[in-house]
Amino acid sequence: MNVWDLSALKALGRPALEIAILTLVIYQALRFVRGTRGWPVVLGFILSLLTLGLIIYVLDLQVLRWLLGTFSAFMAVAVLVIFQPELRRMLAEVGKLPLFATPQEQREIIEVIVRACERLSECRIGGLIAIEQSIRLEDVVESGIPVDCEATPEMLECIFFPNNAIHDGGVLIKGDRISHAACIFPLSRRQDLDPTLGTRHRAALGLSEETDAVVVVVSEETGAISYAYRGQLVRGVTVEALRDFLTATLIRPVRARGWVAWLRQRFERPRPAPAVLSRQSTVSGPTQSG
């Protein structure tokens, strides 16, 4: 192979590599944003830019082309401001570090949550539990009462006991400790939700759309257990299914060897179990009841 062949290979390989990298970045960014409350804004923004660019190209509008090029820097700043929650979540996922110290501690806190949800379900006591991962939940909740105690089934049941001063709202779990109680989570604004969803379920879904937290819900009316993760709500699960999901989601697998496996582990989005969308909960009201 002579010098000309090497030059031609580099000339063809460099654009192909750039296209592949841009395609991967754009694809992963859209996967992270899809299903969140920012997805309609992203879709509208892309369609508007494509439509405007097509009109400028077809009609050869020089002034609009100049304006679009001039304000491109301001548009980049606007994108950073508008999609700040999605960008923060995406960067946190790329640089994700294990939250718990050992798999044994992970299994212990999973068992605490499962046992607490089983008791709440049997007694028909509503519950809303958020498990923090990479993104700090204190940055997205509107309020909360600091608790800072060891997470146990008895403590969680005591917090959610009716007429308790802090039973309304959600509980934040960091590591093996209950961080805050009586927290108000952001409600999901999706329009395609089941109208029978209560406020607890909408709050769980809304928090999972903005963060990588795992949120578990116990319905006060039916005792049904549900969980929300990555903008997906799975309703009416059994205790065993909840334990399996938490184990698969919270316990980090041993890092695979090889760069292909590393890329797959970093960029492959975890998929929750198939949704069991039941129509059991029918709740309305200003408080986060489910």
The rounded distance, in Å, linking the Cα atoms of 186 and 208 is: 9
Determine which helix (DSSP H) or strand (DSSP E) holds 150, and give its type and residue range: strand 145-150
Of the listed ranges 105-109, 144-148, 199-203, 281-285, the one predicted with least confidence: 281-285
Q: What is the CA radius of gyration of the chain?
A: 23
CA dihedral angle for residue 21, residue 25, residue 31, residue 37, rounded to 10 degrees: -160
CA separation (Å) from 94 to 87, 102, 105, 269?
Answer: 11, 21, 24, 11
3 state DSSP class of 67: helix
pLDDT for 72 equals: 76
* 60 φψ region: left (φ > 0), alpha (ψ -120 to 50), beta (else): left
Higher pLDDT, 224 or 255: 224
Higher pLDDT, 24 or 134: 24
The rounded distance, in Å, linking the Cα atoms of 117 and 192 is: 27
Assigned CATH class of 103-267: alpha beta
pLDDT for 27 equals: 79
pLDDT for 30 equals: 72
Of the listed ranges 79-88, 181-190, 221-230, 279-288, the one predicted with least confidence: 279-288
Higher pLDDT, 285 or 221: 221
Average pLDDT over residues 184-201: 87
The answer to whether residue 178 scores a pLDDT higher than 50 is: yes
Do residues 181 and 144 lie in contact, with contact meaning Cβ atoms separated by under 8 Å?
yes
Sheet of strand 232-237, all strands in order from the earlier edge strand to the far edge? 145-150, 177-183, 170-174, 127-131, 214-218, 225-229, 232-237
* Portions of the chain given CATH number 3.40.1700.10: 103-267
State the greatest distance between any 2 C-alpha atoms of the chain, in Å, as a whole number: 83
pLDDT for 34 equals: 64
- Give which of 84, 76, 72, 79 is closest to 44, Cα–Cα: 79
Of the listed ranges 89-93, 121-125, 174-178, 253-257, the one predicted with least confidence: 253-257
Do residues 231 and 35 lie in contact, with contact meaning Cβ atoms separated by under 8 Å?
yes
pLDDT for 101 equals: 45
- Give which of 165, 128, 119, 121 is closest to 145, Cα–Cα: 165
The answer to whether residue 42 scores a pLDDT higher than 80 is: no
- End-to-end CA separation in angstroms for the chain: 70
Of the listed ranges 2-16, 38-52, 56-70, 138-152, the one predicted with least confidence: 2-16
Percent of the chain with pLDDT over 70: 72
Q: How confident is the model at residue 80 (pLDDT cuts 50, 70, 90)?
A: confident
